[in-house]
Structure 1
Amino acid sequence: MGKRKNTTGPSSSSKRRATTPPPLRRSRRRATHSASSSAQPTTSDDSAPDPVVPISAVDAFNSRFFLRANQIRWRLVSRRPFVSERPLGPSFDAFGIPDLLRSAGVLATVTRFSHFESQLIHDFYANLTSGVSDSRSCFYERVYVFNRVYEFNPTRIASLFDLSTVGTVAPTVDDSDLISTLTGGKMRSWPLQTTDLTMKYRLLFGIGTTNWFPTAHHGTLNRRRGLLLYYIGSGIPCDLAQFIFEEIVAEADSKSTAYSLPFPSLIYRLLIDQGYVKNRKNAVPSLPLPLSVSSKIVDPHSDSRRVARVDDLPCRPSSSSGRQAAPSAPAPIISDVISVLSAEYEAAIARADELKKKIDYLQALAQKGGDTSGGVRHEAAHQEISRSGGVAAAAGSDDPTVAPTVPTVGGATAEEDTDDEEELFVDAEDILD
């Protein structure tokens, strides 16, 4: 019995020790806590947020879209047309607008334009996110477009137009002074009707609706845009690049299909400036027509309410009256239209000649195969074109502008297998297979 008590006594005490936490563990925890609290610099470094790593092309969902959500968003973006920037027509010269824009340092925004590729611009907007303006986001000042990540920020925009006012903080203006200047003292509150603007600011508003703040609301003007017109019209330095950047970012994550996409030429030039290789196959064939001055804007008595418009134009045509000079104004505009249409006509003729050569060659190939109806197998035609060095060579053409047909490999062209750039330009119905 004594032995049993001796054996059970120690075992029960050992169980009680096991259930109670040993003091050594507590002391170790206190020591660890005190050590960590004593090393305050280390703790502050550990608690600091990790640096944001910008997006990389290797993490993209595919060659065109960085995220699958961007690919889905493309369905909405691809339905939207473009509102392209427009150059300043010669009719503005007589009223001193080019000199006013030159003194404000923004003349390049209405003179520097280029063709653009519609599908590339749609992809840009499909990949654009609101994080492009958030310094805490991995998309900060970055946009993924076709296997590459491009910088997109006000500095890049300013470099396209030689704007030297990046980061400039313009002075604040009271609403009373701002509205009085824009309307010539006729109005006192927002929003303003464009018919209330003075002649100078009405012209600047027409320029801004295509080149600075594209909008579908051509009849009203809010304070933000009115302030920009005030700065430009008064020659006050302002950060126009930041303003345009915010206009583009406003389209990020938009689900609307009712409005056109702005600044296609600017975006295309921005990508070209960073090394994008042009693809003429998908380029818009012609530039938009230049802006012109409407006689209703520069006529003080054109207001339907018979309220005389304030004439604050920098200058007037040299003739005795503005109405006598009006008929001569459209002449340069018509010449610009003729030059644009002539370029389009020449491009269409060149395209028609290329198609005619292809048709002639395929008809000759059909007769050579003994098929008088012209029905030749698709694979045989491609193989023969490949062996002959392309359509131009097969048709006996020496025109170097006609691109040779790519040899076929297993029913698909070698270019489709080796050149990823062709994957960018596919039919819309194939994008979400």
Structure 2
Amino acid sequence: MELIETAGLLKTVTEIGGCYGKLAREFIVNVTTNCTESGHPDFRKVFVRGRCVHFSPEIINQYLGRSTIATRNEELSLSAITNELTAGQVMEWPVKGLLSSTHLSVKYAILNRIGAANWAPTTHNSDISSGLAKLIYLIGTKAQFDFGEYVFAQTMKHTDTFAVKLPIGFPCLLSGIILSQHPQILLVDEVPSKKASLLTIDYRLLAGAHVSDVAGLAEMTQGEGTSSQKTPETPIAALIAVSKMLQDTITSCTLRKKNVDTLILQLTKGKRPLDDNAAANDQNDAGTSDDDTNASD
């Protein structure tokens, strides 16, 4: 939360206003490339329901209460971003174009969860795109950047694709910007969309393979809970929390062991393992054969 507050993005996480999905979709459908062409009559303009909505990085920053002074977004190499996000576990950005979230450190794994829900909506939480990776890198390192420019660029992506089900980024933010300019634009029967449930942080995130880089992590794993959960009020509640964490870890490790054992069986299919037990069994089998031979004689 400290990182999000420093970045000036609390309004996109904890103070989200009403989200009018239909209005946001109509806005997206009417966004054209003319909005980015300097000198064009429709430069920085989007027409929705017969009204002109002024839309630019400066307007976005102004609505969020951020500085409207243009800030040049730093050009960063994907290698540097990858190294920071994974705490040195991965040095180069994957060729496939997506980074597995299992490699992220705890801090960036949490920021990725928040980003996937609020900043760059996606149903694929197991992977992270280069755009979102750069954003959480800037937030995690407390770097100065133009968030309005990021939102504007994300919105303009809809002009370059015919994907029908492409998730709309910042639908609540877009709704707020439109309503701030045209309060009477809503239809008579139009109501805000139902808000999604609050995000929770799973204990396995703190006990898994993610590199621990959050201050006070040890105390959190000892029953004090995460930043999104209440601190247990009694020793019994604390023990129950620890027990749950350990059970989740055991379940996860048991599943992984089962998968590894299955792989071992597949690789050794048709071959007898050369271990001490196998050798002892061979000797027993040999002894049994000799006894059977002597008995027949």
Question: TM-score with structure 1 length normalisation?
Answer: 0.48
Which residue does the alignment assign to 2:210?
309
Instruction: Give the root-mean-square deviation of aligned CA atoms.
Output: 2.6
Confirm or deny: 8 A CA contact 1:231 1:238 kept in the other structure: yes
Structure-2 change in CA distance of 1:120 and 1:186 (3 Å): same
Q: 2:227 aligned with 1:324, yes or no?
A: no
Confirm or deny: 8 A CA contact 1:116 1:268 kept in the other structure: yes
CA distance in 1, matches of 2:39, 2:127: 35
Which residue does the alignment assign to 1:374?
none
CA distance in 2, matches of 1:122, 1:268: 10
Structure-2 change in CA distance of 1:280 and 1:118 (3 Å): farther
CA distance in 2, matches of 1:186, 1:256: 34
Matches within 5 A, 1:57-206: 98-164=1-67, 166-191=69-94, 192-206=99-113
Q: 2:130 aligned with 1:223, yes or no?
A: yes
Confirm or deny: 8 A CA contact 2:119 2:169 kept in the other structure: no
Structure-2 change in CA distance of 1:143 and 1:296 (3 Å): same
Q: Give the CA deviation at 1:187.
A: 0.4
Structure-2 change in CA distance of 1:185 and 1:285 (3 Å): closer
Which residue does the alignment assign to 1:286?
194
Matches within 5 A, 1:204-243: 204-243=111-150
Structure-2 change in CA distance of 1:314 and 1:240 (3 Å): farther
CA distance in 1, matches of 2:199, 2:122: 16
* Paired residue type of 2:82: I
CA distance in 2, matches of 1:297, 1:177: 24
Confirm or deny: 8 A CA contact 2:62 2:68 kept in the other structure: no
Confirm or deny: 8 A CA contact 2:105 2:213 kept in the other structure: yes
Q: Give the CA deviation at 1:175.
A: 4.0
Q: Give the CA deviation at 1:281.
A: 2.0
Q: Give the CA deviation at 1:214.
A: 1.9
* Paired residue type of 2:7: A
Q: Give the CA deviation at 1:237.
A: 0.7
* Paired residues, number: 226
- Unmatched tracts of structure 2, length 5 or more: 232-297
1:178-236, CA deviations, whole angstroms, 9 ceiling, x for partnerless residues? 22211011001113211100000011111111222223432222433322211110111
Give the 4+ runs in structure 1 shifted more than 6 A. Answer: none
1:308-356, CA deviations, whole angstroms, 9 ceiling, x for partnerless residues? 3211114337xx4515234996569xxxxxxxxxxxxxxxxxxxxxxxx
CA distance in 2, matches of 1:232, 1:144: 32
Where 1:311 maps in the other structure, the secondary structure is: coil
1:140-182, CA deviations, whole angstroms, 9 ceiling, x for partnerless residues? 2111111211101111111221122652124444444322211
Where 2:158 maps in the other structure, the secondary structure is: coil
CA distance in 1, matches of 2:44, 2:213: 40
Q: Give the CA deviation at 1:261.
A: 2.5
Q: Give the CA deviation at 1:123.
A: 1.7
Structure-2 change in CA distance of 1:140 and 1:237 (3 Å): same
Structure-2 change in CA distance of 1:123 and 1:202 (3 Å): same
CA distance in 1, matches of 2:73, 2:153: 16
Structure-2 change in CA distance of 1:188 and 1:327 (3 Å): closer
Mean CA deviation greater in 186-195 or 214-223:
214-223
Where 1:294 maps in the other structure, the secondary structure is: coil
- Unmatched tracts of structure 1, length 5 or more: 1-97, 303-307, 333-433
Structure-2 change in CA distance of 1:150 and 1:175 (3 Å): closer
Which residue does the alignment assign to 1:270?
177
Which residue does the alignment assign to 1:425?
none
CA distance in 1, matches of 2:221, 2:191: 40
Which residue does the alignment assign to 1:297?
205
